[in-house]
Structures are given as C-alpha cells and as structure tokens.
A and B are shown apart, each in its own frame.
Chain A
Amino acid sequence: MTDLTFLALATVTVASSILALEARDLVYGAAALGIAFLGMAGLFFLLDASYVAAFQIAVYIGAVVVLILFTVMLVGPQLGEPPLELKRLSLLAAILLSLLLGTAGAVSSASAFPGPDNCGSGCDLVGLSNALINQYGVQLEFLSLVLAAAVIGALTLAKTETKAE
C-alpha cells in the first residue's frame, strides 16, 4: 500500500507543477505551486524526513507561496501569457531532457546510495540536530549571511528613492 501513497503524491506533485507553469491565470499558478509543495512535503514524510516535511509546509507554503500570491495579485492579470505553442524544437528538447533525467535517476538509484531506512523506532531528529550544528556549523554561518543579504537586498531593491528634502 505504500506504493499507492507514493504514486498518488507523485501524481499530485507533478500535475500541479505542470499546472503552475502552464496556467493562464497566475493566481491559479501560484495556488498550484502551493499544492506541488504540499505533495513534496508528503514525499518527504514518506522518506521519513518528517522534520523537513513540517518546515516545508511552514516555510514554503506558508511564507513563499503567500509572497508569490501577494505579488501576483499586486501586479494583476495582464502578466499572464497564453501557453506557448508546442513547436518541434521544444518537443525535441523536452524528450531529450526527460531521457537525460530519467537515465540519471536510474543510474543513481541502482548505485550504492543507501536507501531511506524506515525509522520505525523513531526518526533521528537528535542526529539531525547534532549534524546540523556540530558538523555543518560553518555552513550555518554562511547561511545566515545569505539570509541577511536577502533581507537587506530585497528591501533596498523594493523601496522607492527618498526624495531629497
């Protein structure tokens, strides 16, 4: 029965991401993006990464999708374009890319990647926390720099210039 769950979640994720790209009305697209993230969170749960799944819902859908929705509503419907026509070259590109990604996926799953271990006896949240802080402490500092830069940069870009008093 696990396969059914995975299949349903995968279908939802892929279908809503296609919808997010192709929808004419951008608000539908943003909402479909939210559903795609929800599907991804479900997939994270299936992989027993429940911590990541919980924060995927909280941060991606709760914050990023909201920001996108706000921006889309602000800008208005004139920004949506009609779906692109299926030209031959783009069809060829799509087929080649699917082949490439499919091959990469098959190779990586057949190689010696350790599969997800079903944490039946409790997921290793403590291990996650230890690894994050002790092992990846330096990366954490860089991450904080990135976040600080994001705040300052976005605000500087968004504000209008103050008129000289």
Chain B
Amino acid sequence: MGNPIIDLLTSTYFLEIAVFPGLLSIAILGALLGWMERKLTARVQLRVGPLYASPAGGILQMFADIIKLLFKELTIPDGADRFFFIMSPVTALIIGAALLGLIPFAPGIQIANIEVGLPVFLAIVTLSPTIVLLAGWSANSKFPFIGGLRALFQQTAYEIPLWLSTLGVVIVTGTLSLTGIIEYQQNSGWLIVPQLLGAFLFLVTSTAEMERLPFDLPEAESEIMMGWQAEYPGPLFMLAQGPAFVKLYAFSALFTTIYLGGYLGPAPIPPIVWFFLKTILIITLIMLFRSTFPRVRLDQLLRQGWTTLLTLSIANIIIAYFLVVGIPAI
C-alpha cells in the first residue's frame, strides 16, 4: 500500500533527476557558483564582492539577481529570428543539465551509466558552441554575431586537443565508461599521476570550452559588449549566463572523475563529500584563472591550439602508450 504519489516522489529515479544530482541541485549549485566566482574574484582584486544580500557574505546575491531578472521585460530586437533567439539559451541549459546526468557522484548515485560515458560527455559539450553560434546569429545585431563567430572559431582551436587529452586516460584505463575509470583509479591510484600532462591540457582546453577567461572571446565584456549575450533581455539573459556555471560545475566534476578519482577517498569522510571537495578545488582553480590571465587573441588562440596544444596532446598520447605497452616494445 502507500499513496502512489508519495511512492513516485520518493522513487530513486525521480529523486535523482529532480532533486539531486539533477535539476534542483544544478539550479542551486549554479547560483552558488555564481556567488563564489564574484566573491573570489573580488577578494583577488582586493574588493569585498557581494555583501548585502543575506545572512553571510552576500550568499543570496545570485538568487536575488535571478528573481530580479525574471521580472524584466522581454524585448526582442528588430529583425531577430525569434525561434532561435529564445530556443538557444534554453537548449544551452538543457545541454548543461544533461552533462551532469553522466557523472558518478558517489557509488550508486549516477543518473545514466552508459558504457561510453566519456565520449558522450565530450560530444554533448561539443554542441554548445553551435548553440552560441545560432544565438549570436539570431539576434540580428553586430556584436552578438561577432561573438557567435568567435565561439565557432574558438571551438575549432581547442576541441581536438580536448578530445586527445582524454585519449590518454582511455589508453591507461582501457575503458570509456566513467564508472570504469573510477574503478581503475580505485585499484591503481589516481590518474593525475601518470597523466599529469593530460590533466594540464584538459584543464586548459576545458577552460576554453567553457568560454571563461583567458578564453572568453565570445563574451568579451570589454571588447564586444557581452558578445553573443548582448541582446538577451531579462529572463533570457539569466538563461544565457546560467549554462556557463553549469558547464563549469560539469567540467570540474569530469576532471575530478577522470583525474582525481571521483568519489574515492579514505573512509571516515563519505564519498559524496570527497567528490564535492575535489570538485570545489578544481572550480576554485579555474576561477582563479579568471583573475590572473588576460584574454587571448583569436589568431593567437588558433595558432597555439593547432601547434602547441596539439603537439602536447600527441606527446601525452605517446607517454600513455609507453606506460601501457612498455618501453622496449617499439
């Protein structure tokens, strides 16, 4: 017996998707990451950051911003393509949320355990610059369009090194599924040790994928006025900025899973806490990039991506090859 609605609401699948690690936790964590970024960059720049919106240190600032943005007017520019203008940020958010469904947060908490989890994650992430291109095109305004084109070219620079840096992980572990990679790390130690170069490359190329400084050409705030997000009014602006934080969370979670052993860690602390500690460490590192490096130029990025980054990722693959096959076997 039991009320069917209560059964539904407490069934594992529903809770996993709707609450954690699904939609509700993504929304709350996305907002908290926005606060963390503003506070962190403020402290680095010797400012205070958000202060007033709350009990402690302005922690509700992002929620206040979300509520404010929800009530703003939706004005769509002249000649803009309405369908893509509205659908692009929504699709970007869906892509970001879908990424988090693939990550194992704790032994048993994973929404979708696919045996090709790693390529599917990277494949879904590859879709987001296409969405940015469509969003920039649809606004029928010069700056968003330039931002969208820059997103396209930026993708061509870093995408191959991103795939190839994870290729080293695949070579060493011999599996494409994220739970398999964690199992390997349980037996043989965290993959950041044999794959240090790969981890570094992954960090750099994923920062480029997330369009964060130093690679935030598509939304360069001081050059092209928020780039592809420039024409987005109120609620759509929130939908356009939100996926940036969700992708940050997703990429840091992936880095933790494939290089730092995911939820593995000594016993008294539960695995989920280990997972979040490691993820927040990586998120902090990526946020510190923002305060430290100036923006790259597009032609610098393209040239460096295709020479330096590609060479380093091929070197990483060769290192992983020799680790697996052994030195004398050439």
User: In the assembled complex, how far is the CB of residue A37 from the closest CB belonging to chain B, in whole angstroms?
Assistant: 11
Q: Are A125 and B81 in contact (CB under 8 A)?
A: no
A27-B81, A27-B137, A125-B176 known; A58 vs B119 contact (CB < 8 Å)? yes
A136 sits at the interface (CB 8 A): no
Q: Are B134 and A31 in contact (CB under 8 A)?
A: yes
Q: Which residue of the partner chain, among A55, A57, A61, A73, contacts B137 with CB atoms under 8 Å?
A: A73
A62 to chain B: which residues have CB within 8 Å? 123, 126-127, 130, 159
A54-B123, A58-B123, A66-B155 known; A122 vs B133 contact (CB < 8 Å)? no
**Which parts of B173-222 form the interface with A (CB within 8 Å)?**
176
Chain A 46-63, CB within 8 Å of chain B: the 1/0 string?
000011011101100111
B120 to chain A: which residues have CB within 8 Å? 50, 53-54, 57
Q: Are A55 and B81 in contact (CB under 8 A)?
A: no
A51-B119, A57-B120, A123-B115 known; A31 vs B84 contact (CB < 8 Å)? yes
Complex: A63 Cα to B160 Cα, angstroms:
11
**Which parts of B116-130 form the interface with A (CB within 8 Å)?**
116, 119-120, 122-124, 126-127, 129-130
**Which parts of B135-164 form the interface with A (CB within 8 Å)?**
137, 149, 152, 155, 159, 163
B114 sits at the interface (CB 8 A): yes
Q: Are B116 and A51 in contact (CB under 8 A)?
A: yes
CB closest residue in chain A, given B114 = A50
CB closest residue in chain B, given A122 = B115
**Which parts of A24-59 form the interface with B (CB within 8 Å)?**
27-28, 31, 34, 50-51, 53-55, 57-58
B123 to chain A: which residues have CB within 8 Å? 54-55, 57-58, 62
Q: For chain B, what secondary structure do more than half of its interface residues adopt (helix, strand, loop), or is it mixed?
A: helix
**Which parts of A53-89 form the interface with B (CB within 8 Å)?**
53-55, 57-58, 61-63, 65-66, 69-70, 73
Chain A 117-143, CB within 8 Å of chain B: the 1/0 string?
000001101000000000000000000
A50-B116, A123-B115 known; A69 vs B130 contact (CB < 8 Å)? yes
CB closest residue in chain A, given B129 = A66
Supply 22 A–B pairs (Cβ within 8 Å), ascending by A.
A27-B84, A34-B130, A50-B114, A50-B116, A50-B120, A51-B119, A54-B119, A55-B119, A55-B123, A57-B120, A58-B122, A61-B127, A62-B127, A62-B130, A63-B126, A66-B129, A66-B130, A70-B149, A70-B152, A122-B115, A123-B116, A125-B176
Binding site for B on A (CB under 8 A): 27-28, 31, 34, 50-51, 53-55, 57-58, 61-63, 65-66, 69-70, 73, 122-123, 125
A28 to chain B: which residues have CB within 8 Å? 83
User: In the assembled complex, how far is the CB of residue B308 from the closest CB belonging to chain A, in whole angstroms?
Assistant: 20
User: In the assembled complex, how far is the CB of residue A151 from the closest CB belonging to chain B, in whole angstroms?
Assistant: 13
A51 to chain B: which residues have CB within 8 Å? 116, 119, 176
Q: Which residue of the partner chain, among A55, A70, A123, contacts B133 with CB atoms under 8 Å?
A: A70
User: In the assembled complex, how far is the CB of residue A144 from the closest CB belonging to chain B, in whole angstroms?
Assistant: 16
B81 to chain A: which residues have CB within 8 Å? 27
User: In the assembled complex, how far is the CB of residue B305 from the closest CB belonging to chain A, in whole angstroms?
Assistant: 15
User: In the assembled complex, how far is the CB of residue A75 from the closest CB belonging to chain B, in whole angstroms?
Assistant: 13
A51-B116, A54-B120, A123-B115 known; A69 vs B133 contact (CB < 8 Å)? yes
